[in-house]
Structure 1
Amino acid sequence: MQLPVPLRRALAAAAAPALARLLALSLAALSLGMPAVAETPAETRLGLGIGAETVAPAVPDAALAARLFGAPQDGQVIVTRQDTPAPSWRVEAEGRTLGLIGSTWELASSTGYSGLPLEVLVAVAPDGTIAGAQLMRHNEPVLTLGISDADIAAYVDGFAGYDTAQAATRAEGLPDVIARATVSTGVIRDGILRSARILAAAQTGGGVIDRVAYAPADWAALESMGALSHVRVSMADAAKALAGARQPVTPSDAPWLELWTGIIDTPTVGQNLLGAQRLTELAGALGPDQALLAVMSRGLQSHRGTEWRRSGRFERIEIAQGPVTLVPMAEDYTQISGLSIEGAPELKETSVFRINADPEAGGLDLTRPFRVTVLTARAGREGELLVLPVSTEAALPEPFRVAPPPPEEPLWLQAWQDKQPQIVVVGVMLAVLGLILFAQEWIVRRKRLWLWLRLGYLATTLVVLGWGLGAQLSVVQVIAFIHAVLSGFRWETFLVAPLIFVLWSAVALGMLFWGRGVFCGWLCPFGALQELTNQAAQRLGVRQIAVPQALHERLWVIKYSLFVGLVALSFYSMEQALILAEVEPFKTAISMRFMRAWPFVLYVLVLLGAGLFIERFFCRYLCPLGAGLALPAKLKIFDWLKRRPQCGRECRLCETKCTVGAIDPLGRINANECVLCLRCQVIMNDENTCPVLKRRARGAGAGPGGGMGGGFTAPPIPPAPASPPAPPPLTPTQVPASAHAAAAGVPGPLQPPSFRSQQERT
């Protein structure tokens, strides 16, 4: 199911690397939290440059094998390694085979979304039932904090008793995934089921044969249902074919060779032919992926001959299917002295051979017909050997095949189907946000509408998106995505968390259009919590602290350093990086709704307390995710935030009111810091707030008869001189008149700075 891997390669080779980087973020759809079992330092440092072949699978000891199969601990349990037909360990106790144990890392290359090995030892009984499972190695981000090892152990234990013949959909017997760890538990589930099916097929012999169903049948019934194929070559036929024989064949209707063949593993065939006890003996001697082929004949010729006693090979018999040709071996042969079925013809010879029924190992595919040929021969007159092949087409009838389970429904598809209502809710929220951003120029001219939209959307983000749906994005997801790309990328892993995937996709597209503010200003539940609590504090009269611009800019270094440090540390120790990622309070405040140990809760309360005096304190100085999203922020297509030449020179109101201090003293908006709250746009379009618009209004009202009382007539304006004299040079103590005019509140002839975009000339 690596269907989208070509998309990743195409993305990496795209002509627009900036766009590729933005779209890549949409794939970082991973759930929060991250438990991990203790590992050796070498294991935790697995990553770039270390291939799967360098990581040996875990080896089960006798005690673990006994526990997985429920055998007595004081009994003698023997664990034997075997490499065929599937790499595994055969477990025996008290002279009987308990089953096979296999590693999900060895059999299914099971890896987590960080690209590191995720290994579970799976024990499968001979009947295909999972006897038990044990988690041996993992380094999953969602398992480090917040979810205990006991939770994961209980989840893995829940697979015991599951029949691998079932379809792995929402069927009974599969444990439920763990909340807040859907991705990692989904990876564990897929690895266990894939490995268990391989182990089950290795023990059932043939894989496609129904070895349970039985119905009484006589010889004629077996022939009519196709269980036995038949061919007859008479003496007359042989006389024609071997006309040049030194000893001619006497023509007659008697059989030269009459042959019956068929697969007899199915009790309806084998038990009716041989009896229950004899069939049990033969089936018990079968190895993995072997089947029983019966060859029965009568006539002048023998299908066995005598050469096999010397060579160890039944060279007279060929079993062919396409390019595959099998010759039975002496050790796979059992002679049958008589049949117990009614209506059987009088047979001369009956043989049963064990044959390879694994098409991947050079054997037969029993779902397709195959040909059994007996080579009969006589010496020619010139000493040559004349050969008459007698062939019959055999096949395993459809009623005797195990119906393959329905195709497994991918776990990610199940997740998308189960989360359809939640996906609709998120989709509606994203659609509303898109309308707000596209219609922002119309909305910011209506201050009251903007305020209700802003507060209402933030409340919805916090309550519905955050606390309700648990869809809080995290820097952990970015780190995990980077490792997944470098260590082996699989789309299915990221699709397991639909809400996170949808949000990251929307954030990537939004960053392409408007920058990081799409997420930070509107879709971050913790950011919404900070802004709403600060607004409440301001309503209650809490005085805000103005951080000096020089200090404000230097504090930005913290969050960017945290982001770079987290990414770098993850290549040394993912576990340590994930612990450091707890600098994000998202899990405590949003995902776990403050239900954590008191140090985590206290940390969140300190951040929220600081945010009462400095709006969005965490967003400004500490958020590593915001820092990561700020890196491509300057690549945005649209720049719809307007400024005036007077901004930062004659008026600094927007700077003081900015949600995150993204406007510098010169009035410029820093795209790396802007959260797209639109507050500055509302201010500069409000005639009752913006000083520039207020001066315009006063100037418009100071015309003839306006603002001076009735009866006043303005004096005539003197004509301008033809050529004004050049102004005298300024001394260091002199100040231009325009500066005095600006100090007096009168617009001077200022030129707009070149860096301002979307400026409105006044």
Structure 2
Amino acid sequence: MHLKILNFLMTRMIFILVFMLAPSFYSFAFSPVEAQNTTSISDNIAEIFPSATRIGPVDKKIAVTPVYQLGDLLGYVFESDDFTNFIGFSGQTINILIGIDTQGVITGLKILNHHEPIFLHGLGEPPLFNFVNQYQNHSVKERFIINARDKSAQDATYFDGITRATISVLVVNDTIIASALKVAREKLSGFVAPSNFVINPDYFQKLDFDQLVEQKYIQHWQLTRDEALAITESSSAALAKAINIASEDTNNFINLYFGFVNIPIIGKNLLGETEYQRLLENLIPGEHALMVFNRGNYAFVSEDFIPQTVPSRLSAAQASLPVDIRDVDFYSYFNPRFALEIPDYNEIKVFRIKSQSGFELNKTLSLSLAVNYNQSFLSKNQYNFSFDSILPEVLFLDQTPLVKPEKAQPLWLKLWIQRSVEIIVLSMYLIALIIIFIKQEALAKNAKLTHQVRFLSLIFVIGFIGFYSQGQLSVVNIYTLLLSLKQGFNIEVFLLDPVIFILWVFVFITLFLWGRGLFCGWLCPFGAMQEVVALIAAKLKIKQIKIKPKYHTAAQKIKYVLLILLVACSFYSLTLAEQLAEVEPFKTSITLNFVRYWPFVLYAVLLLVLSLKIHKFYCRYLCPLGAGLAIIGRYPIFKWIRRREECGSPCQLCRNKKCGIDAIKPTGDIDYAECIQCLECVVTIESPKLCVVNKYANKTKPSQIKILNCNQ
């Protein structure tokens, strides 16, 4: 008997369980495959949304992936490359995985791919990661300012930049904000730009309740039962019956007072200072608090209303778009207290309007109160009574620019404006260089002045062009040019650094005029450092090592081999080419001021030490950039370095004693592919005391000049 009862109960329990689970099973089994979610969450997404339990399918309209915690949408993750195409200094984009929540707040970011040389082979990647992490927990609606000196604007969010990586961090900033805004506008409801009108925090005067209502700071919405019935006269009898029931068979139907108590003149007068501050503590900056209290018989919240939720009867809208209002539960633990004598009320609530809702306080607000009624036994209808209100303009400050804003400036133009002083100083120096080269013979007649000009130029190139303006040209710039030509030329990539751009344009033009010497001798910071080291060696009378001609000629070819290897490698793997470009000591010495991992510092210092014994060792034998410039400028239009008939035969003075870089051939001709145009040979020729021909022309025969004055 007991066994039968037990079997009966178990059968009933199984039947009930199957009945309860059947809908869920049906939904899962017959839902489309592409619509099913997955609990397989990648490590990157889990890092951005730690509480995520599943992700949805990629949106078919835009490339975003929804992220959920059980049934609640947490936000979206997406890659910046799917929405933006900002080119970095490497000539390629910086792809970032970004997560935003449903309110437009950035929940996390992760660099997926980049080729910025300053981070890969200079500062390292941690500074880039730290910079990107600053955006976490900030809304994409904020105005971000990077590396600002003046931080007085209260409506801005200031982030620290990265020294020596200005271009890269600005590209990262534009990439994050532009891509996140595109997703927010597409996926987040009511996500609009903030209004130009803000609450005037200083506008206040003592007012009583009647004055607040009279001046429309507090709105009064009164609708009697008779007026409501007249409005709905053409509607059904069922609605009229519902109105009569709601008004409790009196003429007191809707009688609401409401106002935004976060506005100082309303909140402080109505609540008093203490309650007003308590209210502000419950709000996030940018949110609004709408207080509503009722004197009518029709309640604006239903009997089953749950605190801290959205009311079903009362709703708000602006420009035909819904405005989300949610109960603050302001009086759950506190009794309502007012600083003014207010009319009796039977119901009071404070509702929150979030800043991301798109609501603008200075524009018309439409408040609606719904009345539900049964048209028939099976049909439920709703009628909305509405009331439009707008706050006085005196409550707001107009922050609209006096001049109509122009089209946003491109990033490169902003950088040129920011660095206008550097551009002017550099341009003046380049003009001076042109004058020096045109008037080189006249200048060279004064040996002392020439040497002074030369020394000042070296110091300027090291200090201003090198350390201050970061104007060290590099073979990496050639990578960018070649890849740009291959993938589609975009001049904006090169305009991002005005100093580098101006130098490259100037160098390219002058290569055809005077050869590589103008850059290598007068514009290269590391070359200038080597030359200063050589001057120190001369002062200390350090004996120089003279490379034998056959070894010198062979060693010169090394830099051409390095150039070919690096350029070819850049088409195979840009990352590998950037690593191999460390043969250039420029990043270590100029970009990072020798503050780097010790092997790189040792390499750069070793090259400078070698320059004490071998004049400009790196420039002569290892520099791939110099090799590239030598190829382009091998046959300059102007060969202005003056030569005499006696140069080379019989005189070898300049070749053996004056030209430290060995750019004078035994014949006396100048090898413009190697010459750095230091003007030492020009000074010698123009000097009656230094030039052997000038000095002994009237005293000896030409054949004796070689014997007396040349050390071969």
Deviations, residues 180-210 of structure 1 (Å, cap 9, x unaligned): 2333333322221111110110134365587
| 8 Å Cα contact 1:217/1:268 also seen in 2 | no
- 1:606-637: CA deviation from partner (whole Å, max 9, x where unpaired): 22222122211111111111001111103533
Structure 2 residue runs without a partner (length 5+)? 1-38, 147-154, 200-216, 223-287, 294-299, 302-309, 326-355, 360-365, 369-379, 390-396, 708-712
Is the Cα contact below 8 Å between 1:85 and 1:289 reproduced in 2?
A: no
Distance in 2 separating the partners of 1:653 and 1:680: 9
TM-superposition CA deviations, 1:586-612 (whole Å, max 9, x none): 122222222222222222232222212
Structure-2 residue corresponding to 1:68: 48
Q: How does 1:725-740 map to 2 (within 5 A)?
A: none
Give the whole-Å Cα distance in 2 for the aligned partners of 1:192 and 1:641. 53
Q: Using the alignment, how far apart are the partners of 2:388 and 2:192 within structure 1?
A: 27
2:491 corresponds to 1:504: no
Match of 1:138 in 2: 114
Q: Look up the equivalent residue of 1:179 and give its one-letter code.
A: T
Counterpart-to-counterpart distance in 2, 1:570 and 1:190: 27
TM-score by length of 2: 0.63
Paired position in structure 1 for 2:515:
515
Q: How does 1:472-487 map to 2 (within 5 A)?
A: 472-487=472-487
Identity of aligned residues (%): 33
Q: Is the 8 A contact 1:86 1:198 kept in 2?
A: no
Aligned to 1:327: none
2:172 equivalent in structure 1: 188
Name which of 266, 277, 294 aligns with 2:311: 277
Q: Which of 82, 86, 92 is equivalent to 2:62?
A: 86
Query: Larger relative contact order (C-alpha < 8 A, sep ≥ 6)?
Result: 1
Deviates more, 1:510-519 or 1:191-200: 510-519
Tell me which residue corresponds to 1:41: none
Change (3 A) 1:105 1:694: same
1:175 is matched with: 159
Q: How many residues align?
A: 511
| Counterpart secondary structure, 1:105 | helix
Query: Which letter does structure 2 place at the counterpart of 1:634?
Result: R
Q: Does 1:164 align with 2:148?
A: no
Query: Aligned partners of 1:554 and 1:152: how far apart in 2?
Result: 42
By how many angstroms is 1:149 displaced? 2.4
Aligned-partner Cα distance in 2 for 1:529–1:520: 11
Q: CA deviation at 1:450?
A: 0.5
- Checking the alignment, whether the CA contact within 8 Å between 1:82 and 1:89 is kept in structure 2 is yes
What is the rounded CA distance, in whole Å, between the counterparts of 1:538 and 1:92 in structure 2?
A: 72
Counterparts of 1:599-610 in structure 2, within 5 Å, are: 599-610=599-610
**Structure 1 unaligned runs (5+)?**
1-58, 221-266, 297-333, 344-398, 700-740, 748-762
For the 8 Å contact 2:516–2:626, the answer to whether it is kept is yes
CA distance in 2, matches of 1:597, 1:290: 50
Deviation sequence 1:397-435 (CA, Å, 0-9, x none): xx9xx9999855443333333323333332332232222
Separation (CA, whole Å) in 1 of partners of 2:613 and 2:193:
74
Partner of 2:343: none
Q: Once the 2 structures are TM-superposed, how far is the Cα of residue 564 of structure 1 from its aligned partner? A: 0.9
**Could you report, residue by residue, the CA deviation over 1:30-86 in whole angstroms, capped at 9, with x for unpaired residues?**
xxxxxxxxxxxxxxxxxxxxxxxxxxxxx99365335324xxx4x453222333543
Counterpart amino acid of residue 183 in structure 1? I
Q: Which amino acid aligns with 1:182?
A: T
Amino acid at match of 1:480: T
- Which residue, out of 365, 376, 383, partners 1:337? 383
Q: Relative to 1, partners in 2 of residues 1:696 and 1:603: Cα closer, same or farther, differing over 3 Å? A: same
| Matches of 2:40 and 2:459, distance apart in 1 | 52
Equivalent position of 2:692 in the other structure:
691
Secondary structure of the corresponding residue to residue 121 of structure 1? strand
Greater shift after overlay, 611-620 or 167-176? Answer: 167-176
Q: Is the 8 A contact 1:658 1:680 kept in 2?
A: yes
**Aligned residue type for 1:465:** I
2:67 alignment partner, SS class: strand
C-alpha spacing 1:576/1:445, structure 2 compared with 1 (3 Å): same
Tell me, yes or no, if structure 1 residue 155 matches structure 2 residue 131.
yes
- 2:239 match: none
Cα distance in 2 for partners of 1:505, 1:62 equals: 47
Q: Partners in 2 of 1:201 and 1:415 — Cα distance?
A: 28
- What residue number does 1:261 align with? none
2:182 corresponds in structure 1 to 198
Aligned pairs for 1:82-481 (under 5 A) are 82-167=58-143, 172-173=156-157, 175-205=159-189, 208=192, 277-278=311-312, 279=315, 336-341=382-387, 408-481=408-481
Counterpart AA for 1:568: A
Paired residue type of 1:673: E
Whether the aligned pair in 2 keeps the contact of 1:169 and 1:409 (CA below 8 Å) is no
Report deviation, 1:522: 0.6
Contact 1:218 1:341 (C-alpha < 8 Å) held by counterparts = no
Contact 2:651–2:705 (CA<8 Å) still a contact in 1? no
Partner Cα distance (2:136, 2:104) in 1 = 11
Secondary structure in 1 matching 2:643: coil
Does the CA-based 8 Å contact 1:114-1:481 persist in structure 2? no
Cα 1:449–1:559 shift into 2, 3 Å: same
| Cα drift, residue 658 of structure 1 | 1.1
Q: CA deviation at 1:126?
A: 2.7
Q: Which moved more, 1:448-457 or 1:589-598?
A: 589-598
Please provide the CA RMSD for this pair: 4.5
1:669 maps to: 670
- Partner secondary structure for residue 645 of structure 1: coil
| Residue 645 of structure 2: aligned partner | 645
CA contact 2:142–2:156 (8 Å) conserved in 1: no
C-alpha distance in structure 1 between counterparts of 2:176 and 2:464, whole Å: 34
Q: Which moved more, 1:636-645 or 1:551-560?
A: 636-645
CA separation in 1, counterparts of 2:198 and 2:441? 74
Change (3 A) 1:159 1:342: closer
* Letter paired with 2:41: D
Q: 1:515 touches 1:671 (CA, 8 Å); kept in 2?
A: yes
Q: Compute the displacement of 1:268 (Å).
A: 13
Report the AA paired with residue 696 of structure 2: R
Compute the TM-score of the two structures, normalised by the length of structure 1: 0.59
Shift of 1:119: 1.2
Q: 1:113 to 1:538 in 2, by over 3 A?
A: closer
Cα distance in structure 1, aligned partners of 2:98 and 2:170: 16
1:517 CA displacement: 1.3
Q: Report SS of the residue matched to 1:153.
A: helix
Distance 1:746 1:415, change over 3 A: closer
Aligned counterpart, 1:557: 557
More moved, 628-637 vs 686-695: 628-637
SS of the residue 2:662 aligns to: coil
Deviations 1:228-284 (A, max 9, x none): xxxxxxxxxxxxxxxxxxxxxxxxxxxxxxxxxxxxxxx999x99x99735479667
The AA in structure 1 aligned to 2:671 is N
2:332 aligns to what? none
Flag the 1:688–1:89 CA change in 2: closer, same or farther, 3 A.
same
SS of 1:173's partner is strand
Q: CA deviation at 1:695?
A: 2.8
Distance (whole Å) between structure 2 residues aligned to residue 338 and residue 602 of structure 1: 79
- Secondary structure, aligned partner of 1:465: helix
Q: Is the 8 A contact 2:89 2:496 kept in 1?
A: no
